[in-house]
Amino acid sequence: MAIYTPGQVAEETGFSLDTLRYYERIGLLGNVGRNAAGQRRFTDGDVGWLNMIRCLRDTGMPIAEMLRFAELVRQGDHTIRERIELLESHDDGVERQIAQLRQKQGAIQRKIQFYKDVMAIPQGV
C-alpha cells in the first residue's frame, strides 16, 4: 500500500493542492492521514477516490451531488443500491449531455458551411 505526498497526488490527479485541501474541508475527501509533522499522506484508496471524483466532476456533476455520493460511500455497503441509482441517473445525464452537444455542434457546423458558401461567392465584378 503506497503512500503519497500532497504534491504527488496533485501531480497524479491533476487537482491543485488548494483543491485537494478544499475537497477535504468540505468533506468530499474524508480522513486523510497525517505524518508526525501534521502533513497529509494519501493512500492508494484516496487517490482512487479522487480519480472517481474527477470522473464525476468532468462529466458535470455538481459538488453537492458528489457530497451525497461520498456520504453514501461512508455509510457502508448497504447503500450500494442507492449508489447505483445515483450513478445510473448521472450516466443518463451524460448521455443527454452528449446528445445535446452533438445537436448543437451540428448547428455550428452548418453555420461554418454557411460562411464558407458566402466566401465562395465572387465578390467583385
Residues forming the site for DNA (CB under 7 A): 5-8, 10, 16-19, 21-22, 36-40, 57, 62-64
Within 13 A of 38's CA, how many CA atoms are on the CB side?
0
Of 64, 47, 37, give the one whose Cα is nearest residue 7. 47
Is residue 88 a contact point for a second copy (CB under 8 A)? yes
Minimum distance, C-beta of residue 41 to DNA, in the bound complex (Å):
8
Task: List binders of a second copy among 18-37 (CB under 8 A).
Answer: none
Question: Which C-beta is closer to DNA: that of 97 or that of 113?
Answer: 97
**CA dist., res. 35 & res. 64, Å (int):** 30
